[in-house]
Structure 1
Amino acid sequence: MNPCTFFKCLADDTRLKSLLLIAKTGEACVCDLMEALALDQPKTSRHLAQLRKCGILVDERRGKWVFYKLHPTLPKWAHDIIVNAAEHNDTYFGDALKKLVSSQSSTLSCC
C-alpha cells in the first residue's frame, strides 16, 4: 500500500468516520455502523467494501451480519495514522461513537 492510495481511500466522510469508529472499538458490525452514522445498509456496506478493497479493513461473516476490523497486515505507518486520528478527533466523530457504543451494548442490537 502506498500513501496516495491510502489517503484516497480515506477521502470520504463516511469511510473516514467508519474507519475511526472501528479503530476506537476494535471491530464493528454493519448494523451498528448504520445506527451510528444514520445511514442505510447498502450505503454503509458499499463504503466498508471500498475500505476492504483498499486493504485497510478485513471482514468476518457471523450469521447474516458482517463485522469489520483493521487489517492485521496494515503497514505500521498506516495503522499509526488511523489510531492517532481516532484518539485525537473526538469532536469529528464523537456523536457517532456514542451511538455505536450504545448500539453495541444494547440487548436489542441486531447482531
Structure 2
Amino acid sequence: MFSPVMKEEARLIATIEQIDRAVGIVPRGAFVKTPLGSVHENRHFEGLSLVEAKKLSSYFHFTEPVNLKNKTLLEKANLDPSIDFLDSLEHDIPREFGDEVKEEQFHFSI
C-alpha cells in the first residue's frame, strides 16, 4: 500500500557515503595488502617524498580496482603487489585535453 518514507537526512547521509566511497584517494604506501588479501593501514608509512607527492602515479583510488585487472603481465612486473593493488590516478586525465596536458598542470593539496 504505502511505500516506506525515507527521511531527507537519511537520504543525504547515504548519498554522501556513496560519493565519499567513489572519490576516496590515498597516497601510495599508506595501505598494504597481505598475502591473504586483507588490506590494512600501513603503520610504517611516513608520507611521500616531495618528488613523489607531485606525481599522479603516487595516488590511488581507494575503491575496488578496475584498470589494474586489465594490465598486461609486463605492466604488472614493476608493481609491488603489497602496495600497488589499487588503480592509480595517473590514467584519470580526460582524453579531450590531448597530449599537451602534463602532470605538473594539475594542482591538488592534501
Shorter-chain TM-score: which interval? Answer: under 0.3
TM-score, normalising length from structure 1? 0.24
**Larger helix share, 1 or 2:** 1
Q: Which structure is larger by alpha-carbon Rg, 1 or 2?
A: 2
